[in-house]
């Protein structure tokens, strides 16, 4: 009899989970605010008449092109009414997003790479960040603004990230100094923005057919499992042909601290190590809420010197500094080979070096840019979800069951 009761409870749990399209984080926010900026995801392909019908009643602020969804400003009652309408699949907050810099203080250089002519020519990288300052050693190919400030960088974070990728300084040379550098300004002078701004930036990057999107920013999403709209849009961008490289977050050393969109399945998520190849304590760890291994790799992120506004230079630390190393690595791979985003991701993971940390700390290990071009591909990079899929599913069911009981 107890077996039937357990099975019935499982069915009730999953029925309740399926019936609710409003995330718990939004439920909590609705109790405190009269109006809430939300992101609404629609199920399946929807036609114009469906969107117009929703717009007429609830007023859509922005309809996304990269993903079936929209940004809206709704009252609590409107959210409740909309949540029961088809084809609404999920309603979540327009999560606040910020830079992932930890502290400030020599960078990881690869003379062998550049001496052999690997400079990233004929490839392109977009930096989705606070903008890029028109630095003497940065060559900005194209810029677009998604904030209220206009182009340029009033914060410095985006300029620092861009320099790690593409600085043309003879000493402080970026990983891929001959790339076409795109500036997608999605955060303001305080280093903050919203998920909807990042998604709009991603849409522009995909429209411009940029090879790589470097995303050194993150949002704190409860139960980060890749279902939030920002993570979905990041996956869509990768599926559209733009490899997304994302910082893991700076919420370590605790487990399950990956930020969005780092928990997206298709993105290449990057954690941070110091100069001695020790895990940086701030670097976020996995697993994701649905028990996938993240980060995918780690890269140097502590005490990295790079470009700064007013033609200056600065040391900074964080997974924000680790991710652009991998973006630059992907650029030089693409400049020498004709590979799809998924193949580049596997190449980077397969040539990384195991640092003897758990997978959910280091992923496949520390990147080796030169090895990824000249060395042999290994079988590393297979996630434990792929290797132990059935066990991962059972754990996921258990986590959701416990979470539901606690929520009740």
Instruction: Judge if 42 and 165 occupy the same domain.
Output: no
CA distance 309 to 163: 11
Q: Which of 94, 123, 148 is the endpoint of a domain?
A: 94
pLDDT at 36: 84
Residue 137: helix, strand or coil by DSSP? coil
The dihedrals phi and psi of 319, each to the nearest 5 degrees, come to: -65, -15
Band the pLDDT of 190: cuts 50, 70, 90.
Answer: very high
> Average pLDDT, stretch 164-192?
95
Q: Which of 51, 68, 94 is the endpoint of a domain?
A: 94
Instruction: Judge if 238 and 181 occupy the same domain.
Output: yes
Model pLDDT for residues 238-259, shown as the tens digit of each residue = 999 999 999 999 999 999 999 9
Q: Is 49 a catalytic residue?
A: no
Whether 322 has a pLDDT exceeding 80, the answer reads yes
Instruction: Judge if 168 and 313 occupy the same domain.
Output: yes
CATH code where residue 40 lies: 3.30.70.80
CB atoms within 10 A of CB 56: 9
Cβ burial, residue 399 (10 Å; 0-12/13-18/19+): middle
Model pLDDT for residues 210-237, shown as the tens digit of each residue = 999 999 999 999 899 999 999 999 999 9
Whether 213 maps to a domain, the answer reads yes
* Between 332 and 57, the higher pLDDT residue: 332
> Average pLDDT, stretch 66-73?
92
What is the percentage of the chain residues whose pLDDT exceeds 70?
A: 84
Whether 207 maps to a domain, the answer reads yes
Whether 408 maps to a domain, the answer reads no
Nearest 5°: the CA angle 226, 228, 230 is 95
Instruction: Judge if 110 and 256 occupy the same domain.
Output: yes
Whether 12 has a pLDDT exceeding 50, the answer reads no
Q: What value does the mean pLDDT of the chain take? A: 85
Whether 3 maps to a domain, the answer reads no
Whether 187 has a pLDDT exceeding 80, the answer reads yes
pLDDT at 109: 42
Task: List helix spans (H) across 240-271.
Answer: none
pLDDT at 245: 98
Whether 397 maps to a domain, the answer reads no
Whether 404 has a pLDDT exceeding 60, the answer reads no
Whether 403 maps to a domain, the answer reads no
Instruction: Judge if 30 and 164 occupy the same domain.
Output: no
Instruction: Judge if 68 and 142 occupy the same domain.
Output: no
Catalytic residue among 157, 216, 231, 368: 157
Q: Is 366 left (phi over 0), alpha (psi -120 to 50) or beta?
A: beta
Token pair of 213, please? 């999107």
Domain boundaries, position 39: 23-94
Instruction: Judge if 223 and 236 occupy the same domain.
Output: yes
Whether 406 maps to a domain, the answer reads no
Instruction: Judge if 65 and 106 occupy the same domain.
Output: no
Q: Is 129 a catalytic residue?
A: yes
CB atoms within 10 A of CB 19: 9
CATH code where residue 308 lies: 3.40.50.200
Instruction: Judge if 89 and 214 occupy the same domain.
Output: no
Band the pLDDT of 59: cuts 50, 70, 90.
Answer: confident
pLDDT at 265: 96
Instruction: Judge if 322 and 252 occupy the same domain.
Output: yes
Number of domains comprising the chain? 2
Whether 371 has a pLDDT exceeding 50, the answer reads yes
Token pair of 281, please? 């304590």
pLDDT at 192: 95
What is the percentage of the chain residues whose pLDDT exceeds 90?
A: 63
Whether 32 maps to a domain, the answer reads yes
Window from 106-120, 171-185, 202-216 with minimum mean pLDDT: 106-120
CA distance 364 to 379: 10
pLDDT at 323: 97
Catalytic residue among 320, 327, 335, 364: 320
> Average pLDDT, stretch 257-276?
96
Q: Is 62 a catalytic residue?
A: no
Catalytic residue among 21, 94, 129, 352: 129
Window from 4-8, 138-142, 277-281 with minimum mean pLDDT: 4-8
pLDDT at 47: 77
Instruction: Judge if 187 and 242 occupy the same domain.
Output: yes
Window from 98-112, 188-202, 337-351, 359-373 with minimum mean pLDDT: 98-112
Instruction: Judge if 79 and 208 occupy the same domain.
Output: no
Model pLDDT for residues 323-362, shown as the tens digit of each residue = 999 999 999 999 988 889 999 999 999 999 999 999 999 9
């Amino acid at each position: 009899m107890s077996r039937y009761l357990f099975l019935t409870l499982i069915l009730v749990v999953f029925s309740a989970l399926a019936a609710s399209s409003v995330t718990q984080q939004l439920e909590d926010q609705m109790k405190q605010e009269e109006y809430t900026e939300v992101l609404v995801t629609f199920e399946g392909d929807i036609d114009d008449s469906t969107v117009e019908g929703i717009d007429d009643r609830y007023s859509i602020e922005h309809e996304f092109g990269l993903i079936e969804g929209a940004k809206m400003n709704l009252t609590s009652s409107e959210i409740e009414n909309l949540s029961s309408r088809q084809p609404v699949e999920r309603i979540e907050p327009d999560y606040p997003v910020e830079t992932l810099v930890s502290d400030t203080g020599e960078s990881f250089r690869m003379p062998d790479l550049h001496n052999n002519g690997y400079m990233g020519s004929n490839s392109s990288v977009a930096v989705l960040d606070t903008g890029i300052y028109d630095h003497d050693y940065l060559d900005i190919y194209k810029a677009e603004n998604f904030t209220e400030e206009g182009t340029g960088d009033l914060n410095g974070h985006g300029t620092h990230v861009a320099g790690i990728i593409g600085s043309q300084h003879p000493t402080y040379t970026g990983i891929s100094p001959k790339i076409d550098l795109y500036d997608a300004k999605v955060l303001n002078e305080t280093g903050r923005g919203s998920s909807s701004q990042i998604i709009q930036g991603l849409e522009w990057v995909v429209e411009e057919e940029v090879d790589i999107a470097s995303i050194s920013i993150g949002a704190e999403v409860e139960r980060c499992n890749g279902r939030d709209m920002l993570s979905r849009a990041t996956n869509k961008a990768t599926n559209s042909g733009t490899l997304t490289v994302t910082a893991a977050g700076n919420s370590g050393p605790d487990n399950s601290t990956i930020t969005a969109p780092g928990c997206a399945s298709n993105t290449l998520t990057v954690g941070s190590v110091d100069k001695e190849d020790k895990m940086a304590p701030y670097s976020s760890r996995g697993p994701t809420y649905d028990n996938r291994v993240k980060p995918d790799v780690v890269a140097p992120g502590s005490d990295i010197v790079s470009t700064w506004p007013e033609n200056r230079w600065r040391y900074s630390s964080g997974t924000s500094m680790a991710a652009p190393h991998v973006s630059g690595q992907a650029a030089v791979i693409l400049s020498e080979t004709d590979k799809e985003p998924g193949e580049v991701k596997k190449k980077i993971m397969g040539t990384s070096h195991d640092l003897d940390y758990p997978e959910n700390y280091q992923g496949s290990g520390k990147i080796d840019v030169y090895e990824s071009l000249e060395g042999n591909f290994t079988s590393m990079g297979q996630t434990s979800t792929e290797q132990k899929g059935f066990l991962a599913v059972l754990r996921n069911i258990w986590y959701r069951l416990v979470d539901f009981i606690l929520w009740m």
